Amino acid sequence: MASNVIQIQKSELESVFNELGLSAVNSGTCGKEWKKADPKAEKLTSYNPATGEALADVICSTEEDYEKVTQEAQEAFKEWRKLPAPKRGEIIRQLGEAYREHKEALGKLHSLEVGKITSEGLGEVQEVIDICDFATGLSRQLYGLTMHSERPEHRMYEQWHPLGVVGIITAFNFPSAVWAWNSAIAAVCGNTMVWKPSEKATLTAIAMQRIAHRVLEQHGMTGVMGLVISKDKSLGEKMAADKRMPLISATGSVPMGREVGQVVAKRFGKSLLELGGNNAIIVMDDADLDLAIRGIAFGAVGTAGQRCTTTRRVFVHKKVQKELVDKLVAAYKTIPIGNPMDNGTLMGPLIDEGSVQAYEKTVAEAQKQGGKLLTGGKRVDLGGGSFVEPTIIEVSKPLDIMQHETFAPILYICPIDSIEQGIDFQNDVPQGLSSAVFTEGMKNAEQFLSAWGSDCGIANVNIGTSGAEIGGAFGGEKETGGGRESGSDSWKAYMRRQTCTLNYGKSLPLAQGVEFL
């Protein structure tokens, strides 16, 4: 169900820009100071995916800019690491408060630049605020273990130290939250960082960085969070190869992550990779179907199918297949598509025309392989923008096309006979991010969560694949990359472990009873 032609009020755009310190031409480089925007320099234009109209220009960072920002991050690290962790946590708390103050404007910017509906745009900013709160508490909980030594008058313990400059590469679909997962936690751990955002979400990155820079400036700590922007992958490639960055955290496609991982490994650096997802929901014959419909619909249609946790496959027990399919198709036909800034909209645009073409190509290929198109499958004409219909394709068995992730609202529905078959089908893809089962049966749920159940980093029961909380570690296995960000003990990725042994006696006994001299 599509709305009318979309119009974005110029006054609303100007209001957002004014509050967040943006302009028609913005500098995309920040280290200890913001680089002045030179209108003659190379530009990257940010477009509104809902209208196709240009929002503003961004001045790209040069290789010299990258070098300067990285050197400044190195220098800032020398002082930042000396600051007690709870003091660093207090600064991150203030950063969260600053984002809370500008939450509404930042949420609108997410809608304008990447097409998120209002609630999702605001929700992403809230996620940034939440991770700042989480990191503040974490700053007093960077625990190491103590252990008893086998040698008399010796004490052993382990402690954790910051790594240095962390390189952060983010994707367009979560233009602020993923950066915050990394930066807030890396910062309280004592690291500094350089951020290269997606070229499709530059204004959001600049707005986030401007607020961060102001907070850090109040404490004389500029340089802790740096920003560089390029219109291609050139600066990302420099980061991956840069020995001054002991950790590269990269979010994006599997091919990108494979390239980054290989380059970083070659120099013996560490990489934290959050890559593709090809997420499935299993619906058993004892499931609450109304609950399952809601979980599937949000998982498959939220953010126009452009989440790494988007539901792309549903494996439903044959006994309830028809009922589920009928209800889901009916629900899809009522989803309002249109201006993401209208409160009634549930699905906004894809990020650009290339994504629309990928959507159309995938729908055609799925039908060619034997899939039955139940609803959707076409682009939506709203007088501009990159809109498509949420799409359901029914299959009798898994298709080859289902091995691949398409960043669009395309959902495959396939019948199963048992929980075992559902798990086998779910796991039989290269990716392993998020998964879910809807069932009222304890045995089904426990089997799904067992060591021979879901092989994904995230496994849910009676909720969908999308919408992870910041308190749990986020990430997946196989081609998803194996990285973990956000909650639990993910902070350890940003630190180095050190085992310490203290001898407070006057003899020098050796371990394992070894005698020497």
What was the pLDDT predicted at 142? 97
What is 10-275+483-496's CATH superfamily?
A: Aldehyde Dehydrogenase; Chain A, domain 1 (3.40.605.10)
Give the C-alpha separation, 4 to 143, whole Å: 55
Give the C-alpha separation, 164 to 143, whole Å: 19
- Looking at residue 347, the DSSP 8-state letter turns out to be B
Domain limits, the chain: 10-275+483-496, 279-469
Give the C-alpha separation, 460 to 474, whole Å: 13
Structure-block tokens of residue 277: 């997802």
In the chain, the N- to C-terminal Cα span, in Å, equals 85
What was the pLDDT predicted at 10? 73
What was the pLDDT predicted at 40? 83
Q: C-alpha dihedral over 466, 472, 473, 475, to 10 degrees? A: -10
What was the pLDDT predicted at 12? 83
**Contact indicator for 263, 238 with CB cutoff of 8 Å:** no
Helices (H), 21-171: 63-80, 85-101, 103-114, 118-138
Q: Indicate the SS3 state at residue 269.
A: coil
What was the pLDDT predicted at 468? 86
CATH code for residues 279-469: 3.40.309.10
Give the C-alpha separation, 242 to 63, whole Å: 13
- What are the two backbone dihedrals, phi and then psi, of residue 437, each rounded to the nearest 5 degrees? -135, 140
Question: β-pairing, 485-486 with 146-148?
Answer: unpaired
Strands (E), 128-211: 146-148, 154-162, 165-169, 192-196
What was the pLDDT predicted at 8? 63
Give the C-alpha separation, 198 to 251, whole Å: 10
**Contact indicator for 21, 34 with CB cutoff of 8 Å:** no
What was the pLDDT predicted at 1? 57
Alpha carbons within 13 angstroms on the beta-carbon side of residue 230 total 16
Q: Give me the active site residues, please.
A: 274, 308
What was the pLDDT predicted at 9? 63
Give the C-alpha separation, 58 to 41, whole Å: 10
pLDDT one digit per residue (tens) for the chain, 517 residues: 555 556 666 778 899 999 999 999 999 999 999 999 887 889 999 999 999 999 999 999 999 999 999 999 999 999 999 999 999 999 999 999 999 999 999 999 999 999 999 999 999 999 999 999 999 999 999 999 999 999 999 999 999 999 999 999 999 999 999 999 999 999 999 999 999 999 999 999 999 999 999 999 999 999 999 999 999 999 999 999 999 999 999 999 999 999 999 999 999 999 999 999 999 999 999 999 999 999 999 999 999 999 999 999 999 999 999 999 999 999 999 999 999 999 899 999 999 999 999 999 999 999 999 999 999 999 999 999 999 999 999 999 999 999 999 999 999 999 999 999 999 999 999 999 999 999 999 999 999 999 999 999 999 999 999 988 999 999 999 999 999 999 999 999 999 999 999 999 999 999 998 988 7
Structure-block tokens of residue 401: 């096309």
CB neighbour list of residue 457: distance below 8 Å, 6 or more residues apart: 432, 433, 434, 473, 474, 475, 476, 477, 480, 484
CB neighbour list of residue 159: distance below 8 Å, 6 or more residues apart: 144, 497, 498, 500
